[in-house]
């Protein structure tokens, strides 16, 4: 085992030698401080309550209690397929309307939706589900995208509507209404639990789900699925009609393939702020 050596450099930078590598840290005085920077929360492998080992244990418990006829194996609670979730932010919209129905996509927003529709068509994935928020800007975006795909919108979900998912850290002045976090947070969390989970036991082919919704919702989903503090959601930014691609593997591990990707659009269509 290699021991660490700590040396001060010019009074501003600490040089730490582990015997195999050298690291520079600003104003570090001891190895404990370095270790603190490397701390992380342990991964919860049963985050979606679909861990086959846990499900099997629950089944065995019921078997003893209810004298069920057939004993099941771990394989019957397992899946061999991954779930791919493609989260699409709506296109740019006009915020002047007093009611949601009046806040329609701008011309730029419609062009953005067309570009994303083309991109999803070019990917040629075997899409299995198409879901949209019920807000006007999301519905318009989804309906434009729908024209490019062999799959139709199957669900319009109120829980995917925009809102304040969780008190952000650091705090943001415009997000100070606690009742909004209390009400919106529970709704958006319900949407997360509905769409983010392993594929069903016995499924052998990967599934590809399209979910058209909103920036705050998507940013919250990213934090939750990565098992980082949901208070970090406001530290990210997403372009209009961008694609965020999340993969849930059969063992429950998560891979984020892209966040807010808009490389399929001309530069002039890359926007994040809405039109007033």
Tens digit of pLDDT per residue, the chain (276 long)?
A: 444 444 444 455 544 444 445 544 455 555 565 555 555 678 999 999 999 888 778 767 666 655 555 566 777 888 999 999 999 999 999 988 889 999 999 999 999 999 999 999 999 999 999 999 999 999 999 999 999 999 999 999 999 999 999 999 998 877 668 888 999 999 999 999 999 999 999 899 999 999 999 999 999 999 999 999 999 999 999 999 999 999 999 999 999 999 999 999 999 999 998 865
Does the pTM exceed 0.85? no
As given in the structure block, the two tokens for residue 229 are 């503090």
How far apart are the C-alpha atoms of 41 and 51, rounded to whole Å? 19
Residue 83 in contact with residue 206, Cβ under 8 Å?
yes
Which CATH class name applies to 83-269? alpha beta
Instruction: Give the start-to-end residue ranges of the domains of the chain.
Output: 5-37, 44-78, 83-269
How far apart are the C-alpha atoms of 54 and 239, rounded to whole Å? 39
Helices 107-123 & 136-146, crossing angle to 10 degrees? Answer: 40
Helix, strand, coil distribution of the chain in percent, nearest 5: 35, 20, 45
Neighbouring residues of 81: CB distance < 8 A, sequence distance ≥ 6: 199, 203, 204, 205, 206, 207, 250
As given in the structure block, the two tokens for residue 273 are 């702020």
């Amino acid at each position: 085992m290699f021991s660490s050596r700590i040396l001060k450099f010019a009074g501003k930078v600490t040089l730490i030698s582990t015997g195999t590598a050298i690291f520079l840290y600003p104003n570090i005085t001891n190895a404990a401080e370095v270790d603190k920077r490397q701390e992380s929360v342990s991964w919860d492998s049963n985050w979606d309550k679909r861990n086959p080992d846990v499900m099997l244990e629950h089944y065995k418990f019921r078997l003893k209690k209810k004298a069920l006829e057939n004993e099941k194996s771990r394989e019957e609670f397992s899946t061999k397929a991954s779930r791919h979730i493609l989260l699409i932010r709506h296109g740019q919209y006009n915020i002047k309307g007093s009611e949601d129905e009046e806040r329609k996509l701008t011309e730029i927003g419609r062009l953005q939706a067309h570009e994303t529709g083309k991109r999803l068509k070019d990917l040629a994935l075997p899409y299995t589900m198409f879901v949209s928020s019920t807000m006007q800007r999301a519905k318009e975006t989804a309906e434009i995208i729908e024209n490019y795909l062999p799959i139709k919108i199957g669900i319009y979900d109120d829980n995917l509507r925009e809102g304040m998912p969780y008190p952000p850290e650091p705090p943001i002045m415009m997000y100070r209404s606690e009742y909004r976090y209390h009400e919106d947070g529970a709704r958006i969390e319900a949407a997360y639990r509905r769409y983010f989970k392993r594929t069903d036991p016995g499924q052998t082919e990967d599934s590809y789900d399209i979910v058209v919704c909103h920036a705050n919702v998507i940013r919250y989903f990213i934090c939750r699925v990565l098992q980082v503090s949901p208070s970090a959601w406001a530290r990210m930014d997403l372009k209009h009609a961008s694609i965020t691609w999340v993969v849930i593997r059969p063992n429950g591990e998560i891979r984020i393939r892209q966040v807010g990707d808009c490389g399929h659009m001309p530069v002039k269509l890359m926007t994040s702020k809405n039109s007033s």
